[in-house]
Amino acid sequence: MEAPTSLVLFDIDGTLLRRAGPHHRQALEDAVLRVTGQAASTDGIPVAGMLDGQILSLMMAAAGLKQADVRRHLPDIMREAQNLYVRRCPDLRGKVCPGVRTTLSRLARGQAVVGLVTGNLSRIAWKKMDRAGLKRHFRFGVFAEQGRSRAQLIRTAVREARREGWVRRGSVITMVGDHPNDILAAREAGVRCLAVGTGIVALQDLALHRPDRLAADLREVDPEWLLGEGRWQTGAAVGGVF
């Protein structure tokens, strides 16, 4: 029996890339200033594991903007932030986390469908992947402007993959991330989670949230686990199998 294709979804910051520079944060701050005329900062905002839209909303609230103004300005600010970032993004090839290139190449050989699920806005995300030399590995992505939570983004990615016929019943679906929010979102969405310690959260703290697999970085991960370990042979529903 032919194996159902596995679906592997990757976060970006702290998972695929680390120490990518201040350009993303600066684009958010400059976009708020350009659109509203009000200076706003990411200082004090817990940006790790959050969606860009959430970050921008918190920044504007902290700067004293009313909620009605936040909602009104947010679409224009998100558009401006992306315009700024794609013009400023540096070369990121030296910022790729350990084991990423090898893992993505192995997933390609295993005919996995590989996508992005990230809190980055879409053009920011794709620009990062382009400048890191990783873009060719990703068939599709779901981004900050497409939902209000990471769990919602994961569900959207799964629906899109199924609608396109890329995965089917029995396919193993895994979210790979570096933050407790990734673990919690994967659990809420009903998919497996691989947590890696390449972000700002310590391994022992990630372990408290009980991901399905935990690794210091992707060099420690057997790609066969992401490809499903032959679970399709049983036909049984395992965590993260749709």
User: Do 81 and 67 meet the contact criterion of CB atoms below 8 Å apart?
Assistant: no
What pLDDT is recorded for position 216?
96
What pLDDT is recorded for position 168?
84
What pLDDT is recorded for position 230?
44
Mean local confidence (pLDDT), 192-213: 95
Q: Does domain 23-88 have CATH number 1.10.150?
A: yes
Q: Between the ranges 3-7, 43-47, 210-214, where is the mean pLDDT highest?
A: 210-214
Q: Which of 219, 218, 239 is nearest to 229 (CA)?
A: 239
HSE at residue 63, side-chain half, CA atoms within 13 A, is: 20
- Residue 17: is its pLDDT beyond 60? yes
Q: Considering the chain, what percentage of its residues have pLDDT values greater than 90?
A: 81
Q: What tens digit of pLDDT does each residue of 77-108 get?
A: 999 999 999 999 999 999 999 999 999 999 99
Task: For the chain, give every domain's residue range.
Answer: 7-19+94-233, 23-88
In this structure, is the dihedral angle defined by the CA atoms of residues 75, 79, 84 and 90, taken in order, positive or negative? Answer: positive
Mean local confidence (pLDDT), 204-218: 96
User: CA–CA separation, 188 vs 164, rounded Å?
Assistant: 23
Mean local confidence (pLDDT), 9-13: 96
Write the CB contacts of 142 (distance below 8 Å, at least 6 apart in sequence).
115, 116, 117, 118, 153, 154, 156, 157, 160
Mean local confidence (pLDDT), 195-212: 95
Residue, of 87 and 45, whose pLDDT is higher: 87
Residue 1's pLDDT band (cuts 50, 70, 90): very low
Q: What tens digit of pLDDT does each residue of 160-188 get?
A: 999 999 988 878 999 999 999 999 999 99
Q: Determine the Cα angle at 222 with ends 221 and 226, to 5°.
A: 90
Q: Left if phi > 0, otherwise alpha if psi is -120 to 50, otherwise beta: which for 114?
A: beta
Residue 234's pLDDT band (cuts 50, 70, 90): very low
- Residue 237: is its pLDDT beyond 80? no
- Residue 231: is its pLDDT beyond 60? no
Exposed, middle or buried: residue 104 (CB in 10 Å: 0-12, 13-18, 19+)?
buried
Mean local confidence (pLDDT), 26-36: 95
Question: Partners of 96 in the beta sheet?
Answer: 17
Q: Determine the Cα angle at 193 with ends 190 and 195, to 5°.
A: 155
- In this structure, which topology does domain 7-19+94-233 adopt according to CATH? Rossmann fold (3.40.50)
Residue in this structure with the two tokens 């030296």, named with its chain if needed = 94
Indicate the SS3 state at residue 176: strand
What pLDDT is recorded for position 3?
53
Q: Which of 38-47, 63-72, 125-134, 209-218 has the lowest mean pLDDT?
A: 38-47
